[in-house]
């Protein structure tokens, strides 16, 4: 009884990691802001057309939004939801990554087969790099030396040397690569291939393939198991992989490259973000228009939160 | 050539490490032959048939191949030729086959077969992007002929799946008189049998009146005799009279088939699965919407590009072997990997059910199961096809 009372108190107390998950709604031209404690949408802000990629500046004073059909990266004040100004972005920006210097955005221009580098302080384009057809996935190494662009129709990861903004390697992956992340202190690069149905792991130093992860969801044809967004736990040991129209998220052991579990979520699961203490994972489900909250320790879905039409990107703000 | 010049210019401007992209260590020439077919007149003049239909898709596919190839030292060129109805298509095909064994053909089924049977075509890889005739995937198949365009049977099976799902099980059909209409109607009858649907009546369209003026009087009378039914199928593959049936039938029933809810290889209304990018790329370059034949030609060129990318080879046996292997897959903006049927060379692909304003469904529909690949619920499955050339 006494123990229960303490537990109740603990649960009622404001969590130390109170924060928000910001979700872009691709077909509503809005952002939904979810409170990570109450698990409710607390605010909705209008954006430019077809918002997709979303990321915060390191001090969370700015949020950058790829407004794809407005051909702009919008800069919003997260305190007010006001769009402050647009950055030049090249045409049809889909996804981007903020360099560890907090100053350079590397932007995939899906229609133009280009990666654009923008200085967020001078608001000028620093470089444009020719990449493959339909660039999408963007990653930057923790040391800031390498940026990756994946191209969906060319089926490659393009390795960009950030010192010269030139390509130094191009590595083939399976069909329609969507997302990339460096991990294990930059020793590995992971790339998901939506149509190929795989995640390829590269050795960063040699750009050689060291593993390929295949997914099998019971009762779902392999063609519909389509890995897209993924996120590592802070210890780098576990990775959660969104499997698109299979409506599942895979839990992968990052050391053994083995899938440990599949979690049923909403329809066409796309990208995801953790809350502040990484106890919960929020996945965007495009077709069902909601966000699934996963209990990371228990590895199961605990709630669906209705957001706008076709939620795409997700980012955490304390 | 234009692209190469542009590429070299880019190298200079960007000071990129151009040696990495040494032009065309591996070079593939693809030929495209268009055999013009006389078009019978239609009641309405609303539909402009683009001069570059099909070819435009091949050009966009070539752009995609070139962009990919420059990172690998792979080069691609497209040689285009058009044969007028008065000219000999076989001579045109022979000239192209003397240059390259990779030939994409836009022609009627009989010409397609004659080209595949040319001595110069033996060992070549010919892609059919225009003839939906199911026979070409059946007893009339050829080992050197791959089909990027779906068969009529794939499209009518897709439509039948929707009819089953909607429980529109009692059907009637109005059929045009052109060979394409008859072929479509035959494929439709086969699909209705395959999926356990009933065709309770069928009428040929034999009117020669101008329906723009009196469709509202003629069509109700014409369809009154059908009595009650669930949906009316129209076989009008040239777009002649079918459009005048909609909203003019005696009974208030949906029209499906060549008009209304149609089963299509491609449609401008497809935007899912990244298709918006392909549509945008195509429209920017060609100033019009992408059509089914454009898509088939795009898929043929991309098939070759994908095979070269993965094998580094440019010889016909290597590429054909890879294309027909389980390792091959093409991301074709239809939400699933596209592969080739090893028994008749048909490109497996989902089929869109659409009206002119929106996608309604995509076949295979949920619940239509198959022991190996649900896409094989569409068209001739291995046990059904009488094709022996691929064994």
Per residue in B136-147, pLDDT tens? 999 999 999 999
**Chain B environment of A95 (Cβ under 8 Å):** none
Residue of A nearest to B73 (CA): A170
Per cent of chain B over pLDDT 70 is 92
Give A204→chain B minimum CA distance, Å. 19
Chain A contact probe: residue of B328, B329, B361, B376 with most A CBs at under 10 A: B329
For the segment(s) B21-150+267-349, the CATH number from 2.60.40.10, 3.40.50.2300, 3.20.20.80, 1.10.10.10 is 3.40.50.2300
| pLDDT score at A16 | 47
Looking at domain B153-264, which CATH architecture does it have?
3-Layer(aba) Sandwich (3.40)
User: Which tops the pLDDT comparison, A14 or A179?
Assistant: A179
Q: For chain A, say whether B165 makes contact (Cβ under 8 Å).
A: no
| pLDDT score at B195 | 97
Q: For B331, which of A92, A110, A175 is closest by C-beta distance?
A: A175
For residue A269, what pLDDT band results from cuts at 50, 70 and 90?
very high
Alpha-carbon distances, residue A3 vs A7, A8, A9 (angstroms): 6, 9, 10
| pLDDT score at A184 | 95
Residue of A nearest to B19 (CA): A168
**Sequence ranges of the domains in chain B:** 21-150+267-349, 153-264
Give A258→chain B minimum CA distance, Å. 22
DSSP code at position B362: E
| pLDDT score at B39 | 83
Residue B96 pLDDT greater than 60, yes or no: yes
Q: For B68, which of A154, A168, A197 is closest by C-beta distance?
A: A154
Task: Find the range with the poorest average confidence among A140-149, A245-254, B5-14, B274-283.
Answer: B5-14
**Chain A environment of B375 (Cβ under 8 Å):** 223
Mean pLDDT over each residue of chain B, to the nearest integer: 91
Give, for A91, the enclosing helix (H) or strand (E): none
Task: Find the range with the poorest average confidence among A40-54, A259-273, B40-54.
Answer: B40-54
| pLDDT score at A12 | 47
Give A31→chain B minimum CA distance, Å. 21
**Chain A environment of B64 (Cβ under 8 Å):** 133, 153-154
Residue B326 pLDDT greater than 50, yes or no: yes
Assess contact for B88 and B116: CB atoms under 8 A. no
Residue of B nearest to A109 (CA): B277
First-to-final CA distance of chain A: 34
| pLDDT score at B3 | 44
For residue B48, what pLDDT band results from cuts at 50, 70 and 90?
confident
Q: For chain A, say whether B310 makes contact (Cβ under 8 Å).
A: yes
The Cβ-side half-sphere exposure at B131, using a 13 Å CA radius, reads 28
Long-range Cβ pairs for the range B360-367 (8 Å, 24+): B360/B162, B360/B261, B361/B162, B361/B165, B362/B334, B362/B335, B363/B157, B363/B158, B363/B159, B363/B161, B363/B162, B363/B263, B364/B158, B364/B161, B365/B161, B365/B162, B365/B165, B367/B165
Give, for B12, the enclosing helix (H) or strand (E): helix B2-14
ipTM: 0.82
Q: For chain B, say whether A223 makes contact (Cβ under 8 Å).
A: yes
Q: For chain A, say whether B312 makes contact (Cβ under 8 Å).
A: no
Residue A234 pLDDT greater than 60, yes or no: yes
Q: For chain B, say whether A176 makes contact (Cβ under 8 Å).
A: yes
For residue B211, what pLDDT band results from cuts at 50, 70 and 90?
low
| Sheet strands (E) in B2-73 | 26-35
Q: For chain B, say whether A221 makes contact (Cβ under 8 Å).
A: yes
Same fold: B21-150+267-349 with B153-264: yes
| pLDDT score at A17 | 57
| pLDDT score at B44 | 77
For residue B49, what pLDDT band results from cuts at 50, 70 and 90?
confident
B277 and A110 within 8 Å at the Cβ level: the answer is yes
Residues A60-87: what's their mean pLDDT?
96
| pLDDT score at A223 | 85
The Cβ-side half-sphere exposure at A267, using a 13 Å CA radius, reads 6
Residues B96-106: what's their mean pLDDT?
98
Residue A2 pLDDT greater than 70, yes or no: no
**pTM (predicted TM-score):** 0.88
Residue B93 pLDDT greater than 80, yes or no: yes
Contacts of A155 (CB under 8 A, 6+ apart): A132, A172, A173, A174, A175, A176, A177, A193, A196, B68, B306, B309, B331
Residues A78-102: what's their mean pLDDT?
95
Residue B5 pLDDT greater than 50, yes or no: no
Contacts of B236 (CB under 8 A, 6+ apart): B174, B176, B181, B205, B242, B257, B258, B259
Residues B29-37: what's their mean pLDDT?
96
For residue A61, what pLDDT band results from cuts at 50, 70 and 90?
very high
Residues B220-239: what's their mean pLDDT?
95
| pLDDT score at A261 | 96
Residues B29-57: what's their mean pLDDT?
89
First-to-final CA distance of chain B: 40
A16-48: per-residue pLDDT in tens? 458 999 999 999 999 999 999 999 999 999 999
| pLDDT score at A18 | 81
| pLDDT score at B291 | 96
B16 and A130 within 8 Å at the Cβ level: the answer is yes
């Amino acid at each position: 009884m006494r123990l229960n009372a303490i537990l109740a108190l603990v649960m009622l107390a404001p969590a130390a990691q109170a924060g928000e998950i910001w979700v872009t709604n691709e077909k509503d031209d809005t952002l939904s802001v979810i409170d990570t404690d109450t698990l409710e949408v607390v605010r909705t802000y209008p954006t430019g057309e077809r918002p997709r990629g979303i990321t915060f500046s390191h001090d969370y004073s700015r949020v950058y939004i790829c407004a794809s059909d407005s051909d702009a990266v919008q800069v919003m004040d997260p305190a007010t939801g006001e769009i402050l100004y647009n950055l030049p972005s090249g045409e049809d920006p889909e996804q981007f990554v903020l360099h560890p210097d907090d100053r350079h955005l590397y932007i995939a221009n899906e229609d133009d087969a280009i990666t654009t580098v923008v200085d967020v302080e001078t608001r000028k384009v620093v470089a444009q790099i020719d990449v493959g057809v339909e660039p999408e996935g963007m990653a930057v190494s923790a040391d800031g030396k390498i940026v990756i662009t994946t191209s969906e129709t060319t089926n490659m990861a393009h390795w960009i040397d950030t010192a010269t903004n030139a390509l130094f390697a191009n590595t083939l992956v399976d069909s329609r690569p969507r997302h990339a992340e460096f991990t294990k202190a930059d020793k590995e690069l992971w790339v998901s291939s939506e149509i190929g149905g795989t995640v390829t792991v590269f050795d960063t130093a040699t750009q050689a393939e060291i593993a390929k992860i295949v997914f099998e969801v019971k009762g779902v044809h392999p063609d519909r198991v389509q890995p897209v967004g993924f996120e590592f736990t802070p210890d780098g040991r576990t990775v959660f992989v969104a499997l698109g129209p299979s409506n599942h998220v895979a839990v992968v052991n990052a050391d053994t490259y083995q899938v440990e579990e599949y979690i049923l979520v909403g329809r066409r699961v796309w990208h995801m973000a953790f809350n502040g203490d990484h106890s919960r994972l929020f996945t965007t489900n495009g077709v069902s228009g909601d966000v699934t909250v996963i209990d990371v320790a228990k590895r199961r879905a605990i709630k669906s939160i209705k957001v706008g039409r076709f939620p795409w990107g997700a980012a955490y703000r304390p | 050539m234009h692209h190469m010049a542009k590429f070299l210019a880019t190298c200079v401007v960007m000071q990129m490490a151009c040696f990495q992209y040494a032009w065309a260590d591996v070079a593939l020439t693809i030929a495209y032959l268009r055999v013009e077919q006389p078009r019978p007149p239609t009641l309405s003049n609303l539909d402009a048939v683009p001069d570059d239909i099909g070819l435009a898709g091949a050009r966009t596919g070539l752009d995609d191949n070139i962009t990919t190839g420059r990172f690998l030292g792979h080069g691609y060129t497209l040689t285009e030729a058009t044969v007028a109805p008065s000219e000999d298509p076989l001579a045109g095909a022979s000239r192209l086959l003397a240059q390259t064994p990779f030939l994409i053909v836009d022609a009627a089924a009989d010409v397609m077969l004659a080209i595949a049977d040319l001595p110069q075509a033996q060992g070549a890889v010919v892609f059919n992007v225009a003839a939906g005739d199911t026979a070409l995937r059946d007893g009339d198949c050829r080992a050197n002929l791959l089909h990027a365009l779906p068969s009529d049977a794939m499209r009518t099976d897709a439509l039948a799946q929707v009819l089953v799902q909607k429980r529109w099980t009692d059907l009637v059909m109005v059929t045009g008189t052109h060979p394409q209409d008859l072929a479509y109607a035959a494929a439709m009858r086969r699909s209705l049998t395959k999926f356990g649907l009933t065709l309770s009546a069928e009428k040929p369209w034999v009117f020669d009146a101008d329906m723009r003026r009196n469709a509202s009087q003629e069509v109700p009378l014409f369809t009154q005799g059908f009595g009650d039914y669930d949906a009316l199928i129209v076989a009008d593959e040239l777009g002649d009279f079918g459009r005048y049936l909609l909203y003019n039938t005696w009974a208030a029933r949906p029209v499906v088939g060549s008009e209304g809810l149609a089963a299509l290889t491609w449609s401008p209304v497809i935007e899912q699965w990244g298709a918006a990018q392909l549509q945008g790329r195509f429209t920017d370059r060609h100033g019009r919407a992408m059509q089914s034949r454009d898509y088939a030609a795009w898929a043929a060129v991309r098939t070759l590009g994908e095979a070269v990318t993965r094998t580094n080879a440019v010889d016909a046996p290597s590429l054909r072997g890879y294309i027909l292997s389980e390792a091959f897959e093409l991301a074709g903006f239809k939400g699933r990997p596209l592969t080739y049927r090893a028994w008749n060379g048909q490109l497996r692909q989902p089929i869109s059910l659409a009206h002119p304003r929106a996608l309604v469904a995509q076949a295979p529909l949920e619940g239509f199961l198959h022991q190996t690949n649900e896409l094989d619920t569409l068209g001739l499955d291995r046990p059904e096809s009488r094709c022996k050339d691929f064994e």
